[in-house]
Amino acid sequence: MHDVFTLITERVLRDCGGEPLCAHVGNVQMCAVKKHSTYQALREKVRLGRSKSVASMRLWESVVTLAREGSQQEREKWLMILLDLLTPYFEGWSKDLARKWNYEVADIRSAMMEGALEAWFSMPGGMPSKELLNSMMTRAFKGARGLVEAASSETCTAGTEDLIAATSHEEDLTLRASSIVETRAAPDPNSNERIRGEREGALLQRMGVMSRVNIFHSKLRNGWRDEKESPPLSSEQVGRSWADGKNLYYRFSDLLPQYIGFNEAAKALGLSESQASKMARKGTLPFRVLWIGNSRAVSVASLMRILNIHDSILHPDDVENGASHAGGQ
């Protein structure tokens, strides 16, 4: 009989396959670490019990960050990994409790995972990763004890499959396109879009980076990007993409590095590295940290949200027109 622990492990193995997994920044190509192991090998090295290692806690912090950042699909994937890293510390205890109370071990494990998920979804956004780990474990053990001590065979009415599916009900963190003018003042959405793109192009031209932007545009037009990575189209944008033959729209953040160093992120918020480190230990730092070996990195998309920098959706034609005007052409 499959219990929730088995289902989670199977789900993670299916999502990760036998390919190398990057638990630093989530992308093997983007990571500064050259060698990556498979998930199975990674799982065997992690120690989150009483004898927590520094390396394991840094990996845990990165996984927590990845489970909070990115697309909904990516967040769900990393949350499943996070839960699966906990199951080795629940398995033996759940068996002992089932024998002691003559209870179904599958029901106990469902109660434990329900408690861990309750802790995850109710935690404050800035809770330090170590406190989160302790909270999830405590709530898991409390949930199991509450189940057996109630002297009832009733458990969560949802099946284990429903419990896993519920993990995707997190607030959508998808970035929205911004507008450089009030929507009410815009003649129409198409004009608003072109004005926004031309203004960004003029800015990029004055910064002297349009040569690199043009290379990026050329790659887009040559089909370098998978359509799944393109921003979703509005009804107004569909017609323009039909004329182009493909979706060429992209987000401004696509022109930026995916990650920056911890020190640079702290400076963007007006903090010194020591101040930011102290805030991270207290759980008051507004951005989350990814560990790459002994170095810390921060997601640029996450930092843009914190600084209220809108991640505009742009079309190459508009950006290039704005750059040409700014360049006097």
pLDDT digits (tens, 9 = 90+) for 289-316: 999 988 999 989 889 988 998 888 999 9
For residues 59-69, give the mean pLDDT: 92
At 103, give phi and psi (nearest 5°). -125, 155
pLDDT-derived band at 187, boundaries 50, 70, 90: low
Beta strands 250-251; 295-299: pairing state: unpaired
Strand, coil or helix: 284: coil
- Residues 122 and 89: beta-carbon distance below 8 Å: no
The 8 Å CB, 24+ separation contacts for 45-54 are 46/85, 48/85, 48/86, 48/89, 48/133, 49/89
Exposed e or buried b for every residue in 136-157, given b needs 16+ CB within 10 A? bbebbbebbbebbeeeeeebbe
Residue 168 scores a pLDDT above 60: no
Least confident of 149-163, 171-185, 196-210, 256-270: 171-185
The pLDDT assigned to 69 comes to 84
Residue 186 scores a pLDDT above 90: no
Residue 6 scores a pLDDT above 90: yes
Cα(170)–Cα(70) distance, rounded to whole angstroms?
12
Residue 171 scores a pLDDT above 70: no
Give me the residue label for tokens 């290379």. Answer: 215
The pLDDT assigned to 227 comes to 62
The pLDDT assigned to 223 comes to 85
The pLDDT assigned to 234 comes to 74
Least confident of 57-61, 214-218, 244-248: 244-248
Beta bridge partners of 314: 250
Please give the residue that has the higher pLDDT: either 284 or 139.
139
The pLDDT assigned to 32 comes to 84
Residue 145 scores a pLDDT above 50: yes
The pLDDT assigned to 179 comes to 35
Give the total residue count for the chain. Answer: 329
Residue 199 neighbours by CB under 8 Å, 6+ apart: 180, 322
C-alpha dihedral (12, 138, 55, 26), degrees to nearest 10: 30
The pLDDT assigned to 174 comes to 42
pLDDT in tens, 226-284: 665 677 777 777 767 766 678 889 999 999 998 999 999 999 999 999 999 999 888 88
Beta bridge partners of 291: 296
Cα(320)–Cα(50) distance, rounded to whole angstroms?
57
Domains of the chain by residue range: 4-168, 183-248+319-326
Distance of CA 275 to the CA centre of its chain: 25
- Residues 150 and 111: beta-carbon distance below 8 Å: no
Residue 214 scores a pLDDT above 60: yes
The pLDDT assigned to 95 comes to 92
pLDDT-derived band at 105, boundaries 50, 70, 90: very high
Q: Minimal CA–CA distance to 243: which of 321, 190, 167, 200? A: 190
Strand, coil or helix: 48: coil
Residue 173 scores a pLDDT above 60: no
